[in-house]
């Protein structure tokens, strides 16, 4: 694949704009993914993605589907800029003696490592905001009193009363409030990067799979060996296919990351002491299928997100203000 000689600042601008457009389009599905991933066995508030979105709109209104979007839109600009530009940069550096699949995977790995400096705190804040509605809904449905009768070593439930008081209002919290709370805890700034290991475990394999796959799919859309331009719709299709495959492949890692970064737990929800402890508890209590929660939602998020992002990225908006002054 011929390297495009454009400026590094232009790549960063293109990546940032691409991320903002993509996130705006798919954020409601991402919210559903987070809430489905945080559901435990026996506490099924949402049956599927559509059920989650419908209940969210009913309880929080239309804009409830965009809870946490401000954080994502603010931080996705540098995140996507770093991810897309870093991959192009490392591909260029590794292509001096020819670009093999292994080198493409290495470039993707480096890009995934670079982006986590922004991804981890961004996801940390976003997940707290996205999951607030699920916790409030769970609180409304939790039984308040259970009376049991013990006879001969056995017990039976005599009565179960439910909280019949008016449903509590969903507390509107901001990213600023959450950040302030994190900094005040004993973990301090370290809590802002909680789940860093799990984020690396997700983003590095994702980039290793996604970028080489996208490059080869994208190359198939070239008009000819002489005319290597690719129609915008083929860039979109290539981004969707590569994104969905990579997203499903690393979905178990995304479940672990989401659980670790969810600071506030619902009733009877366990806490985790690191990646290994989280994997062990999910496997024991929810089985292998627990690692696939929200996988379809994640594929639906990542596919159009990267399809849109790649189209905007290749449109080349950033070349106009930069004038292509710094070649990579």
pLDDT given for residue 176 in this prediction: 67
Measured distance between the N- and C-terminal CA atoms of the chain, rounded to whole angstroms: 16
- Sign of dihedral through CA atoms 187, 190, 191, 196? negative
How far is it, in rounded angstroms, from Cα 73 to Cα 306?
A: 15
- Helix (H) or strand (E) run with residue 119 in it: helix 101-141
pLDDT given for residue 5 in this prediction: 52
- Sign of dihedral through CA atoms 119, 124, 126, 130? positive
Identify whether 1 is part of a domain. Answer: no
Give all strands (DSSP E) within the chain, no chain letters.
143-151, 154-162
Identify whether 107 is part of a domain. Answer: yes
Q: Collapsing DSSP states into helix, strand and coil, what is residue 165? A: coil
Q: What confidence tier does 156 reach under pLDDT thresholds 50, 70, 90?
A: very low
How many C-beta atoms surround the C-beta of residue 47 within 10 A? 11
Higher pLDDT, 112 or 309: 112
pLDDT given for residue 23 in this prediction: 82
- Radius of gyration, CA atoms only, the chain: 22
Residues 6+ apart with CB under 8 A from 75: 118, 121, 122
How many C-beta atoms surround the C-beta of residue 226 within 10 A? 6
pTM over 0.75: no
Packing angle between helix 101-141 and helix 69-94, nearest 10 degrees?
Answer: 170
pLDDT given for residue 144 in this prediction: 37
Identify whether 212 is part of a domain. Answer: yes
Nearest to 168 by CA among 208, 129, 141, 143: 141
CB-based burial of residue 222 (10 Å sphere; 0-12 exposed, 13-18 middle, 19+ buried)? Answer: middle
Q: What confidence tier does 315 reach under pLDDT thresholds 50, 70, 90?
A: low
Identify whether 231 is part of a domain. Answer: yes
Residues 6+ apart with CB under 8 A from 237: 217, 221, 307
How many C-beta atoms surround the C-beta of residue 180 within 10 A? 10
Identify whether 39 is part of a domain. Answer: yes
Are 53 and 67 spatial neighbours (Cβ–Cβ below 8 Å)?
no
Identify whether 80 is part of a domain. Answer: yes
What's the number of domains the chain is made of?
Answer: 1
How many C-beta atoms surround the C-beta of residue 53 within 10 A? 19
Specify which of 23-32, 128-137, 319-328 reaches the highest per-range mean pLDDT. Answer: 23-32
Are 119 and 79 spatial neighbours (Cβ–Cβ below 8 Å)?
yes
Q: Give the pLDDT confidence of 71-106 residue by residue, as tens digits.
A: 777 777 788 788 888 898 899 889 888 889 999 999
* Average confidence (pLDDT) over 168-197: 61
Higher pLDDT, 323 or 114: 114
- The fraction of the chain above a pLDDT of 70, given in percent, is 74
Asked if pLDDT for residue 313 goes beyond 50, the answer is yes
**Arithmetic mean of pLDDT over the chain:** 77
Q: Collapsing DSSP states into helix, strand and coil, what is residue 43? A: coil
**Of 25-34, 167-176, 270-279, minimum mean pLDDT range:** 167-176
Asked if pLDDT for residue 12 goes beyond 50, the answer is yes
Cα angle: 248, vertex 250, 254; to 5 degrees: 105
Are 111 and 207 spatial neighbours (Cβ–Cβ below 8 Å)?
yes
Are 198 and 253 spatial neighbours (Cβ–Cβ below 8 Å)?
yes
pLDDT given for residue 264 in this prediction: 72
How far is it, in rounded angstroms, from Cα 107 to Cα 90?
A: 5
DSSP secondary structure letters along 265-278: --TT----SSHHHH
* Average confidence (pLDDT) over 267-280: 84
Identify whether 161 is part of a domain. Answer: no
Higher pLDDT, 187 or 22: 22
Higher pLDDT, 164 or 287: 287
Looking at the chain, how many residues does it have? 328
DSSP secondary structure letters along 266-310: -TT----SSHHHHHHHHHHHH-GGGGGTTHHHHHHHHHHHHHHHH
* Average confidence (pLDDT) over 175-183: 65
Identify whether 75 is part of a domain. Answer: yes
How many C-beta atoms surround the C-beta of residue 101 within 10 A? 11
Q: Domain range holding 58?
A: 8-141+174-322
Higher pLDDT, 105 or 139: 105
| CATH number, domain containing residue 283 | 1.50.40.10
């Amino acid at each position: 694949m011929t390297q495009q000689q454009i400026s590094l600042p232009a790549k960063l601008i293109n990546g940032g704009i691409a991320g903002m457009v993509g996130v705006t389009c798919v954020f409601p599905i991402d919210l559903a993914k987070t809430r489905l991933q945080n559901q435990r066995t026996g506490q099924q508030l949402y049956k599927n993605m559509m059920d989650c979105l419908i209940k969210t709109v009913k309880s929080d209104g239309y804009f409830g589907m965009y809870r946490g979007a401000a954080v994502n839109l603010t931080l996705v600009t540098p995140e996507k800029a770093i991810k897309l530009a870093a991959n192009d940069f490392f591909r260029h550096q590794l292509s001096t003696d020819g670009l093999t699949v292994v080198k493409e995977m290495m470039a993707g790995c480096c890009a995934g490592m670079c982006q986590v400096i922004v991804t981890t705190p961004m996801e940390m804040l976003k997940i707290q905001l996205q999951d607030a509605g699920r916790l409030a809904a769970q609180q409304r449905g939790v039984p308040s009193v259970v009376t049991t009768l013990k006879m001969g070593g056995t017990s039976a439930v005599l009565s179960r009363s439910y909280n019949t008081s008016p449903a509590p209002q969903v507390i509107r919290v901001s990213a600023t409030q959450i950040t302030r709370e994190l900094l005040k805890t004993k973990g301090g700034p370290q809590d802002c990067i909680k789940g860093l290991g799990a984020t690396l475990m997700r983003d590095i394999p994702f980039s290793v799979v996604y970028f080489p796959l996208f490059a080869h799919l994208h190359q198939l859309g070239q008009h000819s060996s002489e005319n290597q331009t690719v129609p915008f719709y083929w860039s979109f299709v290539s981004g969707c296919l590569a994104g969905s495959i990579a997203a499903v492949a690393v979905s178990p890692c995304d479940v672990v990351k989401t659980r670790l970064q969810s600071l506030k737990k619902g009733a009877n929800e366990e806490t985790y002491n690191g990646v290994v402890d989280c994997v062990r508890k999910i496997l024991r209590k929810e089985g292998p299928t627990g690692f696939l929660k929200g996988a379809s939602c994640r594929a639906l998020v990542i596919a159009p997100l990267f399809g849109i992002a790649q189209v905007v990225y290749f449109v080349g908006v950033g070349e106009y203000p930069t004038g292509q002054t710094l070649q990579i």
